[in-house]
Amino acid sequence: MSTHIPNSMVTHPPVVPLERLEGDPQEAARRDAVVLVCDRKLKKAGFPKLTHDDAMCIWSDPWRFETDLDAKGITDSIRDHKIFSALFLTNPTHEAAGIASLKRGPGGQPKDPKRSKQDNDQKGKGPAKPADPKPKKDVAERSTSEKDQARKRDGHMCRWQWTPHPDMSHFFPFAATKDAEAAAKTADCFQITKPRFGLAHFDKYHPIVSKPGELEAASNLQALGKSLHDWEDRGYLAFKFSKIESSDNNIWFVTIVLYWLPYLYPETATSATANLSSGGPNNTVIRARRQLDDAYHTRYPPRHPPIGNGVMKAFFRDRNEIVSGRSVKFQHRSEEEARNFKAMVDYHWFGMSILTFRGVTNGFDPRSRPSGSGGGGDGPNTRNRAFTLPGSSSMPTLPVGHGRHPGAGGHTPTGSIDPRGTNSPC
pLDDT, one tens digit per residue, over 392-404 is 223 333 333 333 4
* Alpha carbon distance 115, 128 (integer Å): 7
If you average pLDDT over every residue of the chain, what do you get? 79
Name the strand (E) or helix (H) holding 253.
strand 252-260
For residue 411, pLDDT beyond 70: no
CB 48 within 8 A of CB 318: no
**pLDDT tens by residue, 69-99:** 999 999 999 999 999 999 999 888 888 888 8
> Residue 198 belongs to what domain range?
8-97+140-308+332-371
Evaluate whether residue 386 is within a structural domain. Answer: no
For residue 17, pLDDT beyond 70: yes
Q: What's the average model confidence in pLDDT over 109-121?
A: 46
For residue 277, pLDDT beyond 90: no
Q: What is the domain count for the chain? A: 1
Evaluate whether residue 174 is within a structural domain. Answer: yes
Angle, to 10 degrees, between the axis of helix 52-60 and the axis of helix 25-44?
130
| DSSP structural state of residue 88 | T
Evaluate whether residue 122 is within a structural domain. Answer: no
Evaluate whether residue 323 is within a structural domain. Answer: no
User: Which band of pLDDT confidence, cut at 50, 70 and 90, is reported for residue 415?
Assistant: very low
**pLDDT tens by residue, 254-267:** 999 999 999 987 66
| CA diameter of the chain | 76
Q: Residue 137's pLDDT is what?
A: 59
Evaluate whether residue 290 is within a structural domain. Answer: yes
Q: Residue 364's pLDDT is what?
A: 57
**pLDDT tens by residue, 278-320:** 788 889 999 999 999 999 999 999 988 777 777 788 888 888 8
Evaluate whether residue 108 is within a structural domain. Answer: no
Name the strand (E) or helix (H) holding 355.
helix 335-358
| DSSP structural state of residue 372 | T
Evaluate whether residue 422 is within a structural domain. Answer: no
Around Cβ 101, how many Cβ atoms within 10 Å? 12
CA distances, 36 to each of 239, 267, 291, 360 (Å): 30, 20, 20, 22
Evaluate whether residue 123 is within a structural domain. Answer: no
Name the pTM for this structure.
0.79
Q: Residue 66's pLDDT is what?
A: 95
